[in-house]
Structure 1
Amino acid sequence: MESEHERDNEGIPKWFNINYDDIDGHSMFQTFELKDFDGKKYYSLESTEEA
């Protein structure tokens, strides 16, 4: 499967973005990055920026 996202050795995307409009009408995006804590994988919010 081809993808623009880097993946870990299990095929899980290493990061992803969410785009949205905030309550004031600003176009925003958040970046989440794959982390590992004690063998458990989770996504952590890395940044929130105006698009």
Structure 2
Amino acid sequence: AASAAIGGETRANAMLAPMPTIIDIVAYVLLTRKGLDLLTHLQTFLMFNPF
């Protein structure tokens, strides 16, 4: 999890581990522009569609 600071390593960990740790997921999302866009869309979706 400490090595999650490197995007490539995080991706490798996510592929190797059957269930990536939450830290790996968070690091991957924070380091990926696509992940940030996804978070923005998700936030907007949740704002307009409250459960």
TM-score (norm 1): 0.20
Relative to total residues, which structure has the larger strand share, 1 or 2? 1
Whose Rg is larger? 1
Relative to total residues, which structure has the larger helix share, 1 or 2? 2
